[in-house]
Amino acid sequence: MLRVFKEALLGFSRAKTMSLFAVVATGFSLFTLGLFVLVLLNMNTLIRRLEDKVEVMVYLKDNADMASVGMAIEDLGRLEGVDQVRYLSKDEALERFRADLGPDSDLLQDLETNPVPASLSITMKPGFRDTLHVRQVATAAGDLSFVEEVDYGREWIRRIDIFKHLVGVLGAGTGAVLSLVAIILISSAIKIAIFSRSKEIFIMKIVGATNGYIRRSFLIEGFLKGALGGSAAAAMIYGVSEAFAKHYVQITRFPEDYYLLTVLAGILMGLVGSWISLGRHLRRV
């Protein structure tokens, strides 16, 4: 096994240009794919932040019976997807309105009476913050006799749904295309590297080397090329994400496990590419 490993290192050094090309192809492909996944990760983070603002506001009539309101809170809390139903008194609703106005809250300083109605604030669980589920809850709340108005930001949620759908479709489609391009590019690079050493493979066959011996040698080379390419891609992705977060805007970074997976993906592509390309070449020799 040690002899095979030495042979692989020698082969790696003999064809430096082709070996470097295979490493660069692997690194560039995984780097491009990693950048796309990073963008997709941050788009999904943005969607979650937008969905966190989804809320059903139920404005109550001034003569609403508190016993009926209490029963309604329990009933609404049992609806599918509802996370929490919170009652806001007129004073609490006014304070919340002041907070929403921010610097313009001084406009409310001279009010003689509180014009803001008591209300119910309904928040939804993750996965239920779409138009369908929110509208069902809003409709149920609107049917209550003591409710004056229901507001759930219909257009806001519709736009979030459209944005989420576009991200999902474009993410799946673009990810599939980039993955295919990466596989083709890495496979082609390894195939060229093996073809450039066809004479060496022919000589090894003449002197009695078995297909298994030759294959093990090239698989180790594929392992090394994939590991180097994957490591380069992981380092570049980490550098780009850190630089962007430091100099531009805070972004969601990859967990540490992702960089290990990038290296493992490079190794896997190197091994599979070498196995397939070498297998075809050996059948012709």
pLDDT in tens, 164-196: 888 888 888 888 888 777 777 777 777 776 776
DSSP class of 105: G
- Whole-number average pLDDT of the chain: 82
Domains assigned to the chain: 2-49+161-284 (no CATH), 55-151 (3.30.70.3040)
Query: What's residue 18's pLDDT?
Result: 72
For the chain, residues with pLDDT lower than 70 are 1-16, 100-112, 193, 196-197, 209, 211, 213, 279-285
Query: What's residue 7's pLDDT?
Result: 58
Instruction: Quote the pTM value.
Output: 0.72
Query: What's residue 83's pLDDT?
Result: 94
Give the tens place of pLDDT for each residue, 6-50: 655 665 666 667 777 778 888 888 898 888 888 888 888 888 888
| Strand bridging mode 56-60 / 147-151 | antiparallel
Query: What's residue 235's pLDDT?
Result: 93
E strands, the chain, in order? 56-60, 82-88, 119-124, 147-151
Q: Minimal CA–CA distance to 54: which of 126, 5, 112?
A: 126
